[in-house]
Amino acid sequence: MRPLLLLLVLLVLPCSALAEGFSGYAELKGFAYGERFAGEPYGAGWGTLYNKWEQRLGESQFTTSLRAEWITSPQSSPLVFDPADRKLRRPPLSVPELWLRVPLAGSHDLEVGRFQLGWGKTDGYSPADAFLPRDVTDPFADEKLPLWAVRLSGQEENLRYQAVLVPVTTPWRLPPLGSRNAPIASGALPAGTTFHEQDDAPPLPGFAALRLLATHGDWDLGVWARSGVRPAPILAFSLDPALQTGPVPVISVARRYPREHGVGVEVSRVAGPYVVRGEAAALFSTDPELGDALIGTLSVERGFGDGTLLVTLAGNAIDPPVDPTLLFDRGLLPALIVAWNQTEEWGAWKLVWDCGLKRGDGLLKAEVGYNVTDTWKVTVGGDLPYGSERGPLGALHGARRLVAALRRSW
């Protein structure tokens, strides 16, 4: 027990590297919102303490991390044991990484544990990557959730493969419905409507996937296939008479997780100073509310000195059976995403424009990071969702905000 306690102390407490494999950061964020929303205040705070421990074990690699958080708004759960992020709300303590990689041969590895996956080629939006679970407690953060998985990967000549088995579903984590961060427009419901979200356990089995990659000259090619439970939920709204005790309706919200199968191709090519990337994915589901999808993306990236301009177009050729905002990972499609990242002597800044091409809603995002030292960083920025409240971004008008953050890394 004592070693475990010591490990927890070492992981949670910020310290100079006690061993070569320790790293982490402490961060304080403050949010100032443009309006009060559903009784939520103008300001909010978010504190994070993150520690990571990496250790070589011969030729193997062991990595674990522990994150402790404090959030002012009611978006986190009490202290619960949720090792797979399957609960409705964000736990104050979590283990983002806990994995062991064992080499099987020269260029073949077996990885077991909890880790993040990164798929696809296109930036801004990738149909291969968008499927993976995200925590949208902060809807503008694009935070991917790690998975409990087994991954076999390797390379022979110019061919690579990744076979992934995810035995446990880690679902998308949504903000409290009806809050300023909820992806559902409150205007679509009677004023004062409240939600009763059921903390349904997602199905246990996850999904399996295979990805093959090849490199030939300027071309990087890939194909993938996956099958299993889709991490993004289908929300089922109902009126439970037992809950209707006051003057405003109480809507019960359950979550379903249909099965989905998908195949996709990825292409990336260098063309002079440009990198052109594209993806196409065909997704199949017998669920009547999810249906099929045929998603394509095309992105162009160009470097300009210390800056990079990225333009991505993404769309779904098949209209979904339900409002696409309820499908989360394809809610914004068709979309145009433009991002400019620039490094300066003092730090960096970026501008991002996400534009929904169907409903005309979008998001303007700006961020400036100032490196006080190599380990202290101050970031200020803003998120400005705009446009039709029927769109997934326009619906977030109540979440327009300014952000300031102070981070200390070690």
Partner 1 sequence: MIRNLAKLLLSVAAALLMPLYSTPTFAAPDARALLKESESRHRTKTQQYSGDLTVVNKEGKVRKKGWNSYRQGYAGDSKNLIRFTDPPEVKGVGFLSLPRPGSDNPDQWLYLPSMKRERRIAPQDRDASFVGTDFNYEDMEEFDHEKYKVSLQGEETIDGQPCWVITAIPLEKGSKSIYQKLILYLRKDILYLVREDLIRKGEKEQAKRLILSDIKNVEGHYVAARMEMTDLKKGSHTTVTLKQISFNRPQPASRFTLQNLTREGGD
Q: Which stretch binds partner 1 (CB under 8 A): 31-39, 111-119, 164-172, 240-248?
A: 111-119
- Return d(Cα 173, Cα 198) in angstroms, integer: 13
Contact set for partner 1, span 49-78 (CB under 8 A)? 54, 56, 61, 63
CA angle 358, 400, 176 (to 5 degrees): 85
With respect to partner 1, which residue has the nearer C-beta, 168 or 310?
Answer: 310
Q: Quick one: 190 or 305, whose CB is closer to partner 1?
A: 305
106 part of the interface to partner 1, by CB under 8 A: yes
Please report, as residue ranges, which positions from 203 to 222 form the binding site for partner 1 (by CB under 8 A).
213, 215, 217-218, 220
- Residue 292 within binding range of partner 1, rule CB under 8 A: no
For partner 1, which stretch binds (CB under 8 A), given 238-246, 273-281, 311-319, 324-332? 273-281
Name the segment binding partner 1 (CB under 8 A); options: 2-10, 108-116, 284-292, 320-328.
108-116
Question: CA–CA separation, 121 vs 134, rounded Å?
Answer: 18
Taking CB under 8 A as the criterion, the residue among 30, 154, 205, 315 binding partner 1 is 154
185, 129 Cβ separation under 8 angstroms? no
β-pairing, 194-197 vs 250-256, is: parallel
* 103-111 contact pairs (CB < 8 A, 24+): 103/59, 103/60, 104/152, 104/154, 105/154, 107/154, 107/155, 107/156, 108/152, 108/153, 108/154, 108/155, 109/151, 109/152, 109/153, 109/154, 110/150, 110/151, 110/152, 111/149, 111/150, 111/151, 111/152, 111/153
Note whether 142 binds partner 1 by CB under 8 A.
no
**Residue 61 Cβ, how far from partner 1 at the closest point, in Å?**
4
Among residues 86, 377, 400, 401, which is the contact residue for partner 1, using CB under 8 A? Answer: 377
Count of residues in contact with partner 1, rule CB under 8 A: 51
Contact between 345 and partner 1 per CB under 8 A? yes
Residue with tokens 């709300």, as numbered in its chain: 89
Q: If binding is defined by CB under 8 A, does position 227 make contact with partner 1?
A: no
- Residue 318 phi, psi dihedral angles, 5° rounding: -115, 120
Q: Which is nearer to partner 1, 211 or 359 (CB)?
A: 211
Among 10, 12, 14, 23, binds partner 1 (CB under 8 A): 23
Residue 153 C-beta: closest distance to partner 1, Å = 7
Q: Which residue has the tokens 């300027």?
A: 218
Q: Which stretch binds partner 1 (CB under 8 A): 201-209, 244-252, 271-279, 311-319?
A: 271-279
Q: Which residues of 272-297 are buried (b: 16+ CB within 10 A; e: fewer)?
A: eeebbbbbbbbbebeeebbbbbebbb
3-class DSSP state of 391:
coil
User: Of 111 and 354, which has the nearer Cβ to partner 1?
Assistant: 111
Of the two residues 77 and 371, which places its CB atom closer to partner 1 in the complex? 371
d(CA 384, CA 382): 6
| Interface positions with partner 1 (CB under 8 A) | 23-25, 54, 56, 61, 63, 101, 106-109, 116-120, 123, 144, 153-155, 160, 213, 215, 217-218, 220, 268, 270-275, 301-306, 343-345, 348, 371, 374-375, 377, 409-410
